[in-house]
A = this chain, B = another copy of it.
Amino acid sequence: MSNTANHRITLIGLGTIGMSMAALHLSRDNTIVDVFDTRPDLEEALLKTLPIFLVSSSSRTESQPIEVTSLISSGRLNIHSSLETACASATIVQEQGPENLEFKQTIWKKVEAIAPVSAHFWTSTSGISASAQQQLLHDKTRLLVVHPFNPPHIMPLIEIVPSPETAQERVEFAREYFSIPGSRHRPVVIQKEIPGFVGNRLAFALLREACHLVQEDVVTAKDLDTILMASLGPRWAGNGIFESYQQGGGVGGIRAFWDKLGGTMQEVWDGLGQVSVAEVKEKVVRQTDEVYGTLTSEETRREKEERLREFLKVQTQSY
């Protein structure tokens, strides 16, 4: 076991996100990772999936592969069959179990009873607030949302969403954890609990209009995807949306833009689609299935990940 480790992370739930999180933590040199999941094939799944994720993870290159078996034999990765031993020495306990409120409330109550009192409690949930999850805890200051974007070992965004009870130093600890020099992660603290947090709310806002436009036959699902990739995707890969309007608005920035085109924008805002999922589902699913098929091959998935890494490389280059 490494003597230089200063973070010992217990991961509860080793599905796709959990595996990706394990790779994220193991790509650092100062960590020990303890994993717990009730799936019977846990070790097999780790041996199969982790090497793929570790190669594409932050600081590693293909010439320096991490052997999962050597991680296990050196004590950097420990597989547990009980929650108790998994949490016994944790500095951080992070769960990515089912998106089910009762499951999360119950697991945190158990974890509180067995983990060190100093341990930080992180939930990777995309939808259940820390306020809701902490209900059965005695100490509600320890729990916060640490929401990654898929796939976490590549995508930089980490949304940190405390409840009103979460201690400020717990928030700062999480922010610092993802801000170490060389980290490709970009942690952002969300100031208020809100469904979908920020990233997914922005995605869903655009998706609703996308569905509306397909529903109304303004454009096909395929053409809409082409439009997004040929304009807004690359723009927002390089510039934030406020930054884009500030710099694209000419002299005077976004104020001048709104002085001139605020009326047009308001007209569009007022006319945005107010569709429901039920209304648009069949048509959108049918068109999406036709273009992309329902099954994504492992080869396509890897190509997409490789491309994503290349975009992120361009982001950090100087010109």
Docked Cα-Cα span, A195 to B212, in Å, equals 14
A237 touches B233 (CB 8 A): yes
Provide the residues of chain B in CB contact with A269, threshold 8 Å: 204, 208, 275-277
Q: Across the two chains, which residue of chain B brings its CB closest to A209?
A: B205
A228 touches B209 (CB 8 A): no
A301 touches B247 (CB 8 A): yes
B201 touches A289 (CB 8 A): no
Provide the residues of chain B in CB contact with A265, threshold 8 Å: 204, 207, 277
Instruction: Assign chain A's interface to a size class.
Output: 35 or more
A285 touches B254 (CB 8 A): yes
B246 touches A288 (CB 8 A): yes
A200-B268, A265-B277, A285-B255 known; A224 and B241 CB under 8 Å? yes
A3 sits at the interface (CB 8 A): no
Provide the residues of chain B in CB contact with A207, threshold 8 Å: 241, 245, 265
A227-B157, A319-B306 known; A232 and B242 CB under 8 Å? no
Segment at the interface with B among A37-45, A46-54, A108-116, A184-192: A184-192
Q: Contact check: which of B155, B196, B230, B291 meets A230 at CB < 8 Å? A: B155
A186 touches B226 (CB 8 A): yes
A180 sits at the interface (CB 8 A): no
Provide the residues of chain B in CB contact with A301, threshold 8 Å: 247
Q: Give the 10 A-B CB pairs with smallest separation, nearest first.
A: A225-B240, A233-B236, A205-B209, A157-B230, A233-B237, A157-B231, A156-B230, A306-B319, A234-B311, A186-B230
Provide 28 A-B residue pairs closer than 8 Å at the C-beta atoms, listed in order of the A residue.
A188-B223, A188-B226, A188-B227, A198-B218, A198-B223, A198-B227, A200-B268, A201-B268, A202-B224, A205-B206, A206-B241, A207-B245, A222-B240, A224-B240, A225-B241, A232-B236, A238-B311, A242-B291, A247-B301, A251-B294, A253-B296, A255-B289, A265-B277, A266-B278, A269-B277, A302-B319, A307-B315, A310-B319
